[in-house]
Amino acid sequence: MEGKVKIKLVRSPICTPEKHKRIVRALGLRKINQIVERPDTPSFRGMVKKVPHLLAVVE
């Protein structure tokens, strides 16, 4: 079984390209400082890598 990764939205996606907004919403993030827990899979890791300026991985 894979582990979990906690992802936190640290900056607003308002003035970002539409693709970035879609990635943030697909991760389940709506509000600043909201933390979601997702499976630690390559697909979720890739989504986080696409918008590192908006997200933070919380330990």
CA distances from 17 to 12, 33, 34, 44 (A): 12, 20, 21, 19
Contact 6, 59 (CB under 8 A): yes
Per-residue pLDDT 10s for the chain (59 aa) are 579 999 999 999 999 999 999 999 999 999 999 999 999 999 999 999 999 999 999 98
Alpha-carbon Rg for the chain in angstroms: 11
Q: Which residues pair with 8 in a beta bridge?
A: 35, 56
pLDDT number for residue 59 = 82
Domain ranges of the chain: 4-58
pLDDT of residue 1: 53
Structure pTM?
A: 0.90
Q: What homologous superfamily is domain 4-58 in, according to CATH?
A: Ribosomal protein L30/L7 (3.30.1390.20)
